[in-house]
Amino acid sequence: MSRHVARFGSFRAAASGPGPAPAAAEAWDGRFRLHKQRGQHLLTNPRVLDSIVRRAALCPGDAILEVGPGTGNLTARLLASPAARVSAVEIDQRMVDAVTARAGALGLAHKLTVIKGDAVEADFPEFDVCVANIPYKISSLLIAKLLFGPYRFRTATLLLQKEFARRLIASPGDSEYNRLAANVRMVADARLLMDVSKRDFVPMPKVDSSLVEIRPRAAPPDVNLAEWLAFTRACFGQKNKTLGAIFKKKRKLLELFRTSRGAEGRRDGSAGDSSFVALGGDDDGDISDSENNDSHDGAASFSEEEVTAFKAKIAGALESTELAGKRPSKLSNDELLRLLRLFNERGIRFQ
């Protein structure tokens, strides 16, 4: 393995002598242009790269999924680990060529499979561990795909924008607590591993990053996940308001009434339209005025008596749980789940 470690540097220069590669060995050689707007920031600090692999806790025989390998600084270390194989998903053909050539130069091409495509859209092969340096714009979408898709894995070790990472691991009552954290907590445990300076990337981004570990729970939660995701979207769409205020709004009442009536019509028990990618990352502030004033409220299709009775069901559920005066950002998942179950018992559906 030392032979491989000694060659972790760029193609133009190998590290001299045994032991870890010097800092300069991972320097970007500028062979093609990197696009900051696409989130192309290469991690070049060898100590940080070594630390990521160490903290990923790889086991012999592991199948690794790497998202966004870039030119292969991290990929080279993953290939040289005891893992059996690495599947790397990369959308940029220039990066595909670079990481493929690098694996070949290391004599480890047999352990690498490169999937060219969008990580949000591509089908992933089976894997035990995910390791990724994720562009911020797809962070929420990728985490949702990993946790709420068909994949079963041990851990995901993800390098994320620092602010996003803090939101991901936030606890109820924290100022950063949001729908993203609530949804992730339902199915997994997330913890901060370390912070990474923006100076360790080329080109240098505007903000620092953090390394986070996500470990899915062995047993799935006793809840319809599509219903849960739709419920938290309704709650955290205006997280600075109390639940009583959120569910008193006429638009919200009519929306839930339409959804609940549609659910009653699905006699086969199938779910309505739902999207697991709507995990919630940067959109759980107050709903905009334009969204509140949408001209289509469907009021003409409901009688006043039906809406009034439905409103009483919601008010009764909130009153019985004593949560009407609470903000969703202050509540635990157990408290929110108790409210959701009571809503569902009364025929109130969110998807």
Could you report the per-residue pLDDT of 90-135, keeping only the tens digit for each?
999 999 999 999 999 999 999 999 999 999 999 999 999 999 998 8
Q: What is the pLDDT of residue 29?
A: 59
Tokens of 31: 């062979």
The angle subtended at Cα 156 by Cα 226 and Cα 103, nearest 5°, is 130
Complete edge-to-edge strand list for the sheet that includes strand 112-116: 112-116, 85-90, 63-67, 129-133, 155-161, 209-216, 188-196
> CA dihedral defined by 272, 275, 279, 285, rounded to 10 degrees?
-70
For residues 6 and 9, give the distance between their C-alpha atoms in angstroms, rounded to a whole number: 8
Beta carbons of 115 and 175 less than 8 angstroms apart: no
Please state the pTM of the whole predicted model: 0.82
Q: Give the type of residue at 95.
A: M
- Look at phi and psi of residue 117 and say left if phi exceeds 0, alpha if psi is from -120 to 50, else beta: left
Query: Who wins on pLDDT, 271 or 114?
Result: 114
Q: Give the type of residue at 168.
A: L
Beta carbons of 259 and 349 less than 8 angstroms apart: yes
Q: pLDDT > 70: what percent of the chain? A: 77
- Which residue is associated with the tokens 């309505």? 272
